[in-house]
Structure 1
Amino acid sequence: MRLYQLPTGTYRTRAALAVTGGSFRDVRAFAATAVLVSHPHGDLLIDAGFGAHVGEHVRMLARVERAPLELGRTVAQQLDDAGYDRSRLAGVLVTHVHWDHVSGLDSLRVPVWINREELRYARSDPHGAVFRAVSAGLEIREYDLGGPAHLGFPASFDVHGDGSVVVALAAGHTHGSVVVFVTLPDGDRYAFIGDLTWQIDGITRGAERPWPLRRMADVDADTVRLGLQRSIALSRLMRIVPSHDVGAYGSLPRLTGPVAPADA
């Protein structure tokens, strides 16, 4: 097994709008980064980053949700640049369906892995508009979060049945948002926590989103708070990666060449 980061760009938000106690003078680059999980039983992407038509996707947002973007290369372009064999890619496992996690599906003709609650949210909530556009015509691979509680989270799905990639229900940010736990053969462990917090401050000092942003961004702020507390407790055991913290991806290499066959 191997992990790779595929950064597709950033957008900028003031820290005061991202974490309680943040400064208006502190302008944060929010990552739009996908992670490739190479596994002997099939590779998966965690989220999809910015897509080829991200400008159109941003125009689908309410004006208050738009922010200046810095664009990189899409996941699809990076895979092709590296000579990656796309037949190995089993699909994109989305932590949740907000635009900055799914825009890149517009260039990836692969299945979308999603649970029932998140799919219901995606089909009905205004914040699912971009997902509805980019997933049109794609295979939806609905997985069941019927497995046991996992590391404090209430339900789970073991992707390969070997404990190496386990999806756990977080909820709160969206109805079916998830944490993806990855355990590598060398013992390194990662928790890709989606938007339980936008920045690593949420882990290092327990800083929640500011109250107005909690009301706007989360469907259940109390559940987000509980998931954040669980993630803080786990930070002593594994690397916690909030989706939008650029520095949190620092331990992951970039994809620069063909991926050798993964060993179990």
Structure 2
Amino acid sequence: MSSLPAPTPWNQPLPEAHPPAGMALYHLPTGTYETRAALAVRGGSFRDKRRFAASVVLIQHPDGDLLIDAGFGDDVADHIAMLPRMVRAPYRQGRTVGEQLDAVGYDRERLQGVLLTHSHWDHASGLDGLRGTPILLNADERDYAAADPDGKVFRSVSQGHEVREYGFDNRPYLGFTSSYDVYGDGSVVVALAGGHTTGSVIIFVTVPSGRRYAFIGDLTWQIDGIRRRVERPWLLSTLADSNRNQLREALLRVIALDGLMQIVPAHDLGSYDGIPLLTHEAATGYAS
């Protein structure tokens, strides 16, 4: 196994953030699918089975709530059937994000949109149960989703949704050259990473306690990629990534941040530890 060279740890002040009182994060797991560690990271074992998370994160914010990704949807079996046979995997479906929001009495009128880390099926499937909720995409990812074969599920589930396109400022953020401050208060900042898909992003979140998170999508599938500084296996990267060099640069930037924030690869279930599940009290008390 060949590790990437260790980047210089981030030693500059962290960007200013002013998250409002009451802002909070919640983890909404929608299911898992199974793969071998050997197919997830270089040096992984075929004996090591990994449960890949299909999870959603709810950001509660006074200016409107956001979902990060959409997880598995009502028709996940049909969505998986749309994939090439070689990439289908055994899966376990939980409650969809829509079902979980409704079960705790969440008012969907508070949802400003679904902010996708990227448009692949296992991040977009749950859009089928979020009718009327806008989708937030940047121009590069919108183009990718419209044309790439891996955007087939997205093109199906996004029908009937308003797609709101956001742009990036030429403002560096934690080593990334361009960023988008969603609320204008530094609490949720989107950085263009690319590499996995052409418009894939990292979503940096700071909550009122000062704790910081980096939701890195599929920059790496498992936290091993950060902690052991390893990339995807060559064949899997060739199949899954749009630009391996760009992906490696972004991965090294995030590795340099390890220890300064909680890094959450979308499919690493353990990386969500500490982010609470959404309860009735949290869903309804926030609005009051």
Identify the TM-score tier after normalising by the shorter chain.
over 0.9
1:247 matched residue in structure 2: 270
Matched residue SS, 1:234: coil
Provide TM-score, normalisation by structure 1. 0.98
2:191 matched residue in structure 1: 168
Alignment counterpart, residue 103 of structure 1, candidates 103, 114, 125: 125
1:221 matched residue in structure 2: 244
Question: How many angstroms does 1:146 deviate by?
Answer: 2.4
Matched residue SS, 1:193: strand
Q: Does 1:145 align with 2:168?
A: yes
For 1:36 and 1:69, locate their aligned partners in 2 and report how far apart those are by CA, in whole Å. 23
Q: CA RMSD in A?
A: 1.1
Alignment counterpart, residue 64 of structure 1, candidates 77, 86, 92: 86
For 1:49-128, list aligned pairs within 5 A. 49-109=71-131, 110-128=133-151
Question: How many angstroms does 1:185 deviate by?
Answer: 1.0
The structure whose Rg is larger is 2
Q: Does 1:183 align with 2:206?
A: yes
Question: Unaligned regions of 5+ residues in structure 1, if any?
Answer: none
For 2:42 and 2:123, locate their aligned partners in 1 and report how far apart those are by CA, in whole Å. 23
For 1:222 and 1:32, locate their aligned partners in 2 and report how far apart those are by CA, in whole Å. 26
Percent of residue pairs identical:
62
Kindly tell me: are residues 239 and 262 of structure 1, through their superposed partners in 2, closer, same or farther at Cα, counting changes over 3 Å? farther
Alignment counterpart, residue 192 of structure 1, candidates 193, 204, 215: 215
Question: How many angstroms does 1:168 deviate by?
Answer: 0.4
1:261 matched residue in structure 2: 286
For 1:40 and 1:64, locate their aligned partners in 2 and report how far apart those are by CA, in whole Å. 44
1:25 matched residue in structure 2: 47
2:102 partner amino acid: D
CA deviations over 1:233-253 (Å, ceiling 9, x no partner): 111210000000000001100
Matched residue SS, 2:74: coil
Provide TM-score, normalisation by structure 2. 0.90
1:3 matched residue in structure 2: 25
Question: How many angstroms does 1:262 deviate by?
Answer: 7.3
1:189 partner amino acid: R
Alignment counterpart, residue 260 of structure 2, candidates 225, 233, 237: 237
